[in-house]
Amino acid sequence: MKDPEIITDLILTEKKMSNNYSTYASECTNTRLRDAFVDILTQSHRTQTKLFESGQQKGWYSVTQAQPQQIQQAEQKFSNQVPSVN
């Protein structure tokens, strides 16, 4: 495997692990254990970010800035899907 493939694989692995940690935390009844899963989840997100930034610096991932109109469209599209917290 070449470096870009390795970084991509690591990012995908972290994403999968993050999904699992999120599920474990949300289903956990023990507060200390839930807090531990949330801490691990946070670290996993930080790791994903560092991996992505590393790949981006090497030119393997290019990100196009969204135009204000695109941001508004996305906000409108998803605003109805956010559950209200009472």
pLDDT score at 79: 84
Residue 39, both tokens: 């801490």
Kindly list the distances between the CA atom of residue 2 and the CA atoms of 6, 58, 62, 74, in Å, as whole numbers in the listed order: 6, 13, 18, 35
| pLDDT surpasses 70 at 86 | no
Per residue in 18-77, pLDDT tens? 999 999 999 999 999 999 999 999 999 999 999 999 999 999 988 889 999 999 999 988
Q: pTM higher than 0.85, yes or no?
A: no
